[in-house]
Structure formats: structure tokens, C-alpha cells
Structure 1
């Protein structure tokens, strides 16, 4: 039986070279910036076990081989060959790539070529603003450059993304800022000379509204992430008033990751026609428990509003783990629901295909 076709609706580039050192590799298996507990390593997690389960055979090793054997084989093959094998094994047809992260990462074209698929860009709005600020002599020029950058990006991008949850929190004023508020905030930010990192809540609101008005989907980071985040301020329910306010623009809001607020995200997707929820990052990191997390998302999320993604970053292993955890979780749930008579087999197959690719193709349009 052919693997379920996938559209990865939120992901990132992978490292072009390395990482060769065990510590550098394992740092990409965790959202923490701290070392593992004494006597353990970052492989001792659901994600770490899933890498050894799904990725080792693709590199010519036995499932669950020792971590050092896995890393040794990876070095022997080299980063490019390991990347090619792992991405091809994931069988992802389309990659929607957030290009906003720094580092020597593959661009969308390189990622697609290595994976044997196609790719489109998701533009991170905070990076657009930071680049516009670096080239602007003052607040008026900055706002004009920013408007031009968003309009230009909208011509080719599949969608936009915001990391306001990291930069301030999702408990933002939901209304678009006034012209006076915007001018004052821009001047404050530029005068502060901290133009490498945008954290001003007025400017973050402006970016979200500017992206929404283009008509493209707006991806919003919600739920867990690295320690730069304050998790209680990343609950998607904090976006409720923004979701209501932005509805007349026609913008579709995609709630990324969501865990441990995935039931909250399911409620929002059920309550508002322009809200979608995403399983990325959640299923990769929950590993052997991915089925339980997916089942909880399916409690309330309309089946036409849930989207597959990996949120893979840095390591090609994260693409394969995300894809395989999803495929296994959805297959097991469909078998359980059909076995007990709750779903028909034809409905189960249709829902699995919607989450895997169909919903993303409808949401992001041609080319997906």
C-alpha cells in the first residue's frame, strides 16, 4: 500500500553540513537550551526514541540501534547523503517552508530537490520588519519600506507567519493600531537601536493585520517552544478577539503546534470558519503518544480544518519522524474508529487524506 501523500504545511530548512558532534546533533532534538539530566542524553525522549526507530533503518542500521552507532553511521554517509535518504523516505510531496530562521539552512528549492518534491515559501513577518528597519533612515521610511515588502512577498508566498508569541505574547490588543500609535511605536523602536529583534506589541499587531489584509493565510505560533517563550502567553485562546476582529478581511488563521493547548485550538477551529489547526511539532515530540494527541485534536476540530506539518528544523530526521508518527497515528485511529463502527472505511480514508494533504491544498491554493 502506498504511503499517505503529504503536504508539509509548516517546516524549515535543514543544515547543509553536519552536525558532526553528538552534542550539536542532540541539541536539535530538544526545545530546551539546557543539557540533559545527569546520566542521560537528549536521545532519552519520545523524539529521540522515534529517531532511532524510524531513521536508523533508512541509514542502513537496525531500529533502535545505540545512539553513538547512529551518529557514527550518519557521519560516515555525510550530511548530504543522510539528508537525501531521510527526506526521500518521508515521502512528502510539498514543503511550505518558513524561511525566517537564521543559520546555514537549505532554502525551499534545495529542500524540495533533496526530498523529491516541490516547495513554496512562508514569509515570517517579523523578519520583513527587521530587514526594513535596517535600511530605513526614520519611522516614515521604515513603515513605507515595510508596506512595500509585505506587498511584494504576497505576490509569491504561500502565506505569512508571525512569532508574536515569542516576541511579546498572544495577549495583544486585538485591534489594528492607529496611524499615530504606529508612527510613535516605529520611532521608539528605531531610536532604541534594537532593530535586530522586534518585540514592540504595537508593531507586532500591525504586522499581523498587514499580513491578514493580503488575503493569504496567516500562520501563528501557539503552544510550546524553546525557553524564549512564556507558555501561558502562547495559549491560542488569547487570540479569540483578534480572530473575531480579523474575520471580515477574509484572512484564514492557522494555529501552529498548539500543544498542550491543542484542545483549545480545536475549539477555535470549530467555532470560527476562518480558523485552522495544525499538528506540527506536537506529533514529532510526543512520539509513541502521538496517537493520543491526534485523537484529542480530532475530538472537536472539524476534519476539514486540521493540517499536517512537521515543523522540522535543522535535522532531516525531524521530517521523517514527523511524517511517520503522523501516518502511524492516523492509521491506528482510523482502524480503531472503523473497527468499533464509529466511522465507515470510506470516511476514514477521506478524513486521513484531508488532514494529510487535501486541507492544505485547498487552503493555500494552486501549486500545493
Structure 2
């Protein structure tokens, strides 16, 4: 029995948490801008003077001694002094200590003006087990849109006609911004602070709300112009923002499913809140109307916890967040709140949050105190036989992790359980406001990615001087144009695009022309601001940024040639037709070379030679490890997380594992990762190459881990979806290889007994001698892929083939049996028994021939993409065939 109690205590004290509501930390320079005493109170100004005599402050001050390593009898001044030492000498260590045990944070980063003093939400990823997600604060979003819409307005412009036009612009932009956020995988949900503005008694009838808002909006807009104040204080306008959001969430939810949640600040707040109208009971009419939108009642609704518990009990789509009162309330108050939360509400409806903000200590105190209170309450329930130990353990895991994981459809891997899906961190590529649509959409696009507020939020505090606008061509070459920040800002502000000749889409790596070149027409390059990243510190143009781009035609429509847009369209089909989305985690295999100019026949030497897979020899420790660490830190500095790195089998060869991300984000991140690896290596006088076979016997791949995940309430992808998708891939694998293995040298890896995927078309669970390795249900690895591929085209071909399999209803007969053996060591009869009858292409020409003749796959891709690609690859091979073997090798190493 005592062992069971110890297990319960261990779970309560150590089980990882999904923090379902918190805020950004302040940057070091701004730590003094907010009073530290505010960590235990909502009081402000002179009211803070009495905080030191509150039980919540006295208790927190004692606990902070433990955090900082102070003496037990240290007074507040000594605690502050010790804290200052931590911040000066070990700031990130303090943050890591404070966020220990935090699996992920759902972060409300819509803090208005103070957001500029805070770290962007993705910065916090370095301290959590998995990636953080955004909670979009709708009032801040509305105010930012209004500010952008009225940026150039003057008092003289105020007229009924002008204000009516502003209303159209505002409502259109707000709707597009919410729609974008609904479909943005980095956004977990939404939040309203209408409680602070005009109270929770929101007009629940949408038509009535529209009728009331007109004159109020005109007064609000006039005040914005005259005073430059954009905070929405009008009840009718605030109600409209809330109800419009609910309408959009409700109407975009799939039938029978719920939308992304909407969080509401309730109860406890600072002195500008109307405490009477902070009671969540006011929300009941809204809750009854919008039954497919999950309502999350924040902050324990204190002092209205019982009212919130009632709502969470009687309405399926209402949840109670047990947060903020830790550490704002005394121990007795916290105990009462936890009890009241459990009086009526099922524990499956309770969520945990810290409401951590500004100071890392707020996270630490909240988690510490909540675990203490939860333990004392549960032990008493067990003693009174209200709960068993097993039920108490399940309750703890549910509140800390599983309820949020389910409600926000995060699909994170539950600690201590096996899962059928890869964890679902969908990593952001930029700072706050990334999901917002622009107030003035760029012409010709239904979903513009031009948003001046996004750019200004990114640039603010960074001093960005230049922007690299980048796109990937068919041959896997990164093309770039560089803009001074003033010109780039003008392009975004005006909705302009960057023109290039259509012929540039059909040239080779050295601008050699091909039959795919068109001499007429233009392509317009459109930056995707979601992919903005700062460059690394030693970039020649730093402080600068990179951004990936789409291709548009002369009318502003997506260009059919664009591999990036083509991939996005296929992902939309998969989502819409089969309620399935993918995550992809790439392995970046790279060989580091020293240049050896004295030997023209062999001008490269591997960085390390005393080398094997997973080793750390003295050679590697001295020559490679500092480089690998510097690369990893450089990647981290721009928000790219590396899960691990290690040596591969080839001399000088190493692998960096990227986390699973949504496909477009994953490929953008892969491209940016490769650039940084190459640039750090080059700064050391080294060449980092993705060449498929830089030395004899070395095979360099770019394996892609792909997981299929359900959109909706299902816990795992249905077997028929998984089977149909991968059967389609297997049935078109020869043609797919034309994209995934795009060089003659790529086929040096298509060998048996080399752990490179083998020569037979088949699949096997954890079988590295098959081109498709199943890792677990829902998650597979594509092994027949390397770093020379245009990854947008390669993944498009895989998804396109999967869609064919799904459309045709391919089942196990088309997928074949799970191969447990090395196909090369099986007899012909054994292979036939497993459905293994086809071989991988043995050359690039064989793969191109298969692609050229696979009309089914070509048709599922964008128009003429396969035809133009094959034409360009053949021209490339004719050009390379005129080189000596050594010359060809040098040419490829210097480009890949």
C-alpha cells in the first residue's frame, strides 16, 4: 500500500504539465520595468505597498529561498539580492530551473504594448520538452488591425462615408485573421479579455449584436483617429469582436466536431476589472448558443469557482482552468479552490495553467504550490475513501496533461504511454502575430501573407537591416534576392511583389538553359512572412533576416510551376477529403570536408577519419564536437530546435535530427537549417556537403519521418487511411524516386546490405533494408531520399501517390506483407509470398523514365511539373556527362 502512495506522490510531484494558459517572459533589459512583488498579487501602484503582509507573498518569499539557494532565514532584501546574482550570472539556468517539468506552454502573447518588452513565444521552446503554441487574444488582434487601418488617417478624414469604409476594412481583415488562425497549426486556441473591457454579459444574439455596433464603432474609430488610442472600450464593439469570433469558430468546425477553444478571462484581475461582471455565469447564454465551440473558463473563475464548476458540469463543451490563484491566493484559499473545482465538475473537464508571466518565478511558484495543494487534497480524499489511489493518479495526469492534450488536439506523446502518432509540435517560424491576416490584403490572393504588423513585430528590437527573400528551384538550388529593410517594408506595406523572368524557373544550377525555359512572361515572388527568421550572428549582413517565398503569376494567382504552393494544395486535399494531416521530421545528414587544393583529383578530405556510427573518438571530440555544438547553438539562436546530433557511419559524416512539424514548416525549416550548417562550416574553412556519395562507400541520405494524424476526435489514424496512403506510395515508388533520388550519384545508395533501404520495393516494421520503414502505427520513415532533392517536390510526390492510394481504396493486397527480413537474403518464392516483386530503379534515367510514364502521378501534381522537371534533369545530366568523374564530383559537392 505504501508503494502505491509513493507512486501517487511521484506522479503528483513530477508528471509533466501542459500549461494551458500563460504569457511571455520579459527580456533581461526589461526585468526592472515591472515590480517583482506582482508575482503574488494583482495589485498595482500604491496598493503594492501592502503586498508584503499578505499570506500569499509571505509563503512565496519563503519558497523562493529554496529556488535561489538562500539561507532559511533570509529576508526579502536578501532574496532579491540572490535573485539579482542569478539574473546576472546564470539567467537561462534560472529559467530552465523554473520551467522544469513543463512539457509545453499555450501562450497568450497578445499583451499589447508590453509585448515588445517580452521574448517571442517560440523563444520559450528551448525550456520546454515540446514546442509551445499560441493563444490568439482577439481584442489585441482587433486593435492591431484597427491601428493598421487608420495609420494614415487624419481628423479631417472623419465622415460617415469614411467611417463606413473603415468598418468594411476592419470586419474583413478581422474575419480573415481569425480564419487564418483557425487553420494555423501553431495556434492552439483563442482568448477573450472582454471581462476586463466591458464584462462577461456579452450580447449573445449575433444579429442583435450587428444592429447595435454601427454607431458605437463610428465613435470608436473617431476616437482612434483623434487620440491615437486603440483600446476597445465600447461594449457594443467588444461584444461584436467576441460574437464574431464565436460565429467563425462555430461555422468552420467540421460537422459533429468542435472548433478550437475560446478561453475567457474570468474572476480575479487587477483594479480595472468590474468584479461583478467577471462572474462566468454571465456566459451561459453564449454557451447555450455556440455548442460546438469549447469554452475555457480561466483563472479558476475566483471568487466564482463554484459557478464555473457548475457550467463545466452541465455543458459538455465547457472546461474550467484551475490557474492563476497559484501563487496569488493563500494556502487555505488554494485548497478551497481545488475542492470547489472538484465539488461538481468531472476531473476530465479541469485544466491546469500557471498564468506565468514576465518573471520565470511565476511559473515555478505556480507549479510548486499547485502540486502541494493537489497532493494534500487527494490524500485526504483517499483517506476518506472518496478516491482510490489509481483514480487519484489518473486524475493528476488528466488535469496536468491529458485534458489539455485532448481538448486542444495537440496530440503530444503522453508521458509514460505508447502512442500511435508522433508528437505534434508545430513549430512557429516567427514572433507574435504570425497568424494574423493583413488589414489590406495583397491583390489577387484569398489568403494574403502580407501583414505589416507581422513585419514590424518581427523587426522591433532586432534592428534588422536586410532581408534575404528565398525560393527553391526545381534543381534544389536556393535562389535569393536581398532587400534593405526599408524597401522590403515598402513591398509588404504596398502589397507589391518581386518580379522575375518566367525563364528563371527552367534553368539549371549554373543558369544553363533547358527546354523548360520560357522566354516570355513573368513570375512574381511573394514572401511568406510566416517563415521569417533572423539570420545567425555572424551573417555578413547581420542583423538581417530570411524569408521563404511563393511564386505568383502576373494576375497574383499561385503559379502552377511553384513547388511550394503545389505541396500546400495537396496537403489541403488530404485534410479536406480524408480528415488527415501529416507531420514530418527530417534527418539532416551532412559530411564535413576539409579542402585539399594541392590535390586536384581529390580536393577534399573528411573532417574526421577515426570514425564510426554513434562514436566520439578523440579525433571527433577535438575536431568535430566544437563545430557541431556551434551549429546547434546557431540554429537555436534563430528558433530552430535540434532534437539530437550524432556521428553517422561515413568519414566526417554527422546527423542532426529536426523535430516533427507540419510539412510546409518542416521543409522551410530544413532549408534554413542546411543554410546555417553550411555557413557555420564555411566560417571555419570547411565544406558541409549533402552529396549522396562524397567518398566511396559513404551514403548520405535525408530520411523523412512522416506521421499520419487524424483531424478530429479520433485518437489515432484509421487503419484504412494508413494502409491506403502507404500502398499508394509503394505502387508509385519508382516514379517518386525521380524526385527523391535526383542525381546519378544518388543510386550508389540503392544497394543491398548497406542499411540504405535496399533494392526491393517493399516495407517493413523497423526494417532498414526496405525503402519504407514502419516505425509504429501512423508513423513511417521514407529512406529513399537524399539532400539533392527539391524537398517540396519530393514530399509532394509522396503525398500525391498517397492520395491516389486513398482514392482507389487500396488495401492490404496492394500494400503487401510486413517484411521482417532482409529482402535480398530471401528466396524468390519467399519474396513472392510477401508481395515483393518489383525492384527500385537502378539509375536516375530509370527513375525519370518511370516518372515520365506514370501519368497517374503526374496528373495529381500541378500541371506540367513532372514534364518540366524530367526535361530539366535530363539536360542537367547531359551537361554533367561532359565532365570528368573528378570534375563532376567537385561540381556537385560545391552545390549540395
Compute the TM-score of the two structures, normalised by the length of structure 2.
Answer: 0.39
Q: Deviations over 1:85-131 (max 9, x none)?
A: 24434421110000111321122212232345421000000011111
Shift, 1:180, TM fit: 4.5
Tell me the distance in 1 between the aligned counterparts of 2:59 and 2:356: 14
How far off is 1:153 after superposition? 1.8
Distance 1:123 1:175 in 2: 23
Closer/same/farther in 2, CA of residues 199 and 55 from structure 1, 3 Å limit? same
Distance 1:79 1:134, change over 3 A: farther
- Once residues 251 and 270 of structure 1 are traced to their aligned partners in structure 2, the CA distance between those partners, rounded to angstroms, is 16
Q: Does the C-alpha gap of structure 1 residues 262 and 63 become closer, same or farther in structure 2, counting only changes over 3 Å?
A: farther
Contact 1:176 1:205 in 2 (8 A): no
Distance 2:346 2:89 in 1: 39
Larger Rg: 2
Helix, strand or coil for the counterpart of 2:141?
helix
Which position in structure 2 is the counterpart of 1:92?
102
Aligned to 1:48: 57
Q: Secondary structure at the match of 1:219?
A: strand
SS of residue matched to 1:230: coil
Deviates more, 1:15-24 or 1:59-68: 15-24
Q: Deviations over 1:327-367 (max 9, x none)?
A: 11111111111112111111111011111111101100125
| 1:4 corresponds to which of 15, 19, 31 | 15
What does residue range 160-175 of structure 1 map to in structure 2 within 5 Å? 160-175=190-205
Q: Contact conserved, 1:74 with 1:82, CA < 8 A, in 2? A: no
Partner of 2:627: none
Is the contact made by 1:111 and 1:119 (CA closer than 8 Å) also made in structure 2? yes
Give the alignment partner of residue 196 of structure 1, picking from 230, 241, 244.
230
Residues 208-235 of structure 1 show CA distances to partners (whole Å, capped at 9, x for unaligned) of 2233232210000110100010101100
Q: CA deviation at 1:54?
A: 3.0
Q: Name the counterpart of 2:351.
A: 307
Larger helix fraction of residues: 1
Q: Does 1:13 align with 2:24?
A: yes
Say if 1:177 and 1:192 are closer, same or farther in 2 by CA, change over 3 A: farther
CA contact (8 A) 2:39 2:328 kept: no
Report Cα offsets for 1:117-164 as digits up to 9, x if no partner: 421000000011111111225111111111111112222210000000
- Give the one of 264, 267, 272 matched to 1:220: 264
- CA distance in 2 between partners of 1:320 and 1:352 (Å): 18
2:401 aligns with: 357
Mapping for residues 236-315 of structure 1, pairs under 5 Å: 236-247=280-291, 250-257=292-299, 258-289=301-332, 290-315=334-359
Structure 2 gap ranges (5+): 1-9, 151-165, 250-258, 413-896
What are structure 1's unaligned runs of at least 5 residues?
none
Structure with greater contact order relative to length (CA < 8 Å, sep ≥ 6): 1
Question: In the alignment, is the contact (CA less than 8 A) between 2:98 and 2:361 conserved in 1?
Answer: no
1:345 and 2:376 equivalent?
no
Partner Cα distance (2:267, 2:88) in 1: 31
- Structure 2 residue 370 is the aligned partner of structure 1 residue 326: yes
Secondary structure class of the residue paired with 2:46: coil
- Cα 1:341–1:239 change in 2 (3 A) is same
**Which stretch shows the higher mean deviation, 210-219 or 194-203?**
194-203
Bigger shift: residues 215-224 or 194-203: 194-203
| Partner Cα separation in structure 1 for residue 84 and residue 33 of structure 2 | 10
Moved more, 164-173 or 58-67: 58-67
Question: Is the Cα contact below 8 Å between 2:21 and 2:106 reproduced in 1?
Answer: yes
Q: Where do residues 111-126 of structure 1 align in structure 2 (5 Å cutoff)?
A: 111-126=124-139
Q: Please tell me whether the aligned partners of residues 88 and 116 of structure 1 are also in contact (alpha carbons under 8 angstroms).
A: no
Aligned 8 A contact 2:95 2:127 in 1: no
- Are 1:207 and 2:234 an aligned pair? no
**Deviation for aligned residue 1:44:** 3.0
The residue that corresponds to 2:526 in the other structure is: none
Given candidates 159, 168, 182, the residue that maps to 1:154 is 182
Specify the SS of the correspondent of 1:323: helix
Task: For 1:44 and 1:20, locate their aligned partners in 2 and report how far apart those are by CA, in whole Å.
Answer: 23
- Please, which moves more after superposition, 16-25 or 88-97? 16-25
**Secondary structure of the corresponding residue to residue 373 of structure 2:** helix
Change (3 A) 1:88 1:219: same
Q: For residues 64 and 99 of structure 1, what CA distance do their matches in structure 2 show?
A: 37
Superposed displacement of residue 184, structure 1? 4.0
Q: Secondary structure at the residue paired with 2:36?
A: helix
State the 1:291 CA deviation: 2.0
Question: CA–CA distance in 2 between the matches of 1:47 and 1:114?
Answer: 27
Q: In the comparison of the two structures, how many residue pairs are matched?
A: 364
Query: CA 1:328/1:134 → structure 2, altered by over 3 Å: closer, same or farther?
Result: same
Q: Superposed, which structure 2 residues align to 1:33-44 within 5 Å?
A: 33-36=44-47, 41-44=50-53
- State the SS of the aligned residue for 2:103: strand
Residue among 133, 141, 144 paired with 1:128: 141
Alpha-carbon distance in 1 for matches of 2:295, 2:73: 39
How far apart, in 2, do the equivalents of 1:246 and 1:164 lie? Answer: 17
Structure 2 counterpart SS, 1:254: strand
The one of 122, 147, 156 equivalent to 1:109 is 122
Other-structure match for 2:276: 232
SS in 2 for 1:161: strand
CA distance in 2, matches of 1:97, 1:8: 8
CA distance in 2 between counterparts of 1:144 and 1:80 reads 49
The answer on whether the counterparts of 1:278 and 1:309 sit within 8 Å (CA) in structure 2 is yes
The 1-side partners of 2:351 and 2:238 are apart by 25
Shift of 1:265: 0.3
Change (3 A) 1:53 1:93: farther
